[in-house]
Amino acid sequence: MTWLIASNNAGKSRDLAACLAYYGVLAEPYGDHCDRLDFPRETTTSYAQNALVKAQFGAQQLGAPVIADDSGLEIPALPDFLGVTTARDLGVNVAGTDRNQEIIRALAGMADAQRRATMRATLAVAWPDGRQFVTQATVSGYLAHQQAGRYSGGFDRLFWLPRYGRTLAELPPTWRIPLTHRGRAAKQLTEQLRTVKGSVEP
């Protein structure tokens, strides 16, 4: 079967579809099949609750199983900045490169050791009959002083992994996906779906 992705964020939908496909799950943006939905606004400080609300709403409105995502960037040196409210703080209509520039400005003058960061992804699955579950994963690294990479966008162009000496966006998909927060959450989701007959195989 092909899952629908409950999101109006085209970049996030593409990345989530790629992560799920890497682990054998077919998923498409819901907008490929119907008109735009107005999802409930994120009002909580819980990644899981935000993702579940979107997934439940999507499943009911579309009458089909859906997968929704809530993710954020957490920076210990800026404890009151971003996290679960990343999209709300930076503005959902602001381009990814501009969001990155806001972060670069906020970290200006900080030493490399102070630029630690974690990206967290929460994926929620919901069926029209009310079944649901959530998976969550993280990736830890540092924030570079400048953006780099062409294989992906968003925070990946700023998120630097010491082990590889590159940003996530500088790694090709076969390397990048298993390392990312969304890729790791997708792997967990796929493992859970395989326990539900007919949920993975097309």
Number of Cβ within 10 Å of residue 124's Cβ equals 28
By the 8 A CB rule, do 181 and 17 touch? no
* Whole-number Å distance between alpha carbons of 202 and 200: 6
Length in residues, the chain: 202
Domains, the chain: 2-193 (3.90.950.10)
Q: What is each CA distance from 71 to 64, 76, 145, in whole angstroms?
A: 23, 16, 22
> In this predicted structure, what is the pLDDT of residue 45?
75
User: Tens-digit pLDDT profile for the chain (202 aa)?
Assistant: 799 999 999 989 999 999 999 999 999 999 999 999 999 887 767 899 999 999 999 999 999 999 999 998 999 988 777 655 554 444 444 444 588 998 999 899 999 999 999 999 999 999 999 999 999 999 999 999 999 999 998 899 999 999 999 999 999 999 999 999 999 999 999 999 988 755 655 3
To which H or E segment does residue 111 belong? none
**DSSP label at residue 8:** S
Q: Which residues are catalytic?
A: 70
**Residue 41: what pLDDT?**
83
Whole-number pLDDT of residue 191: 95
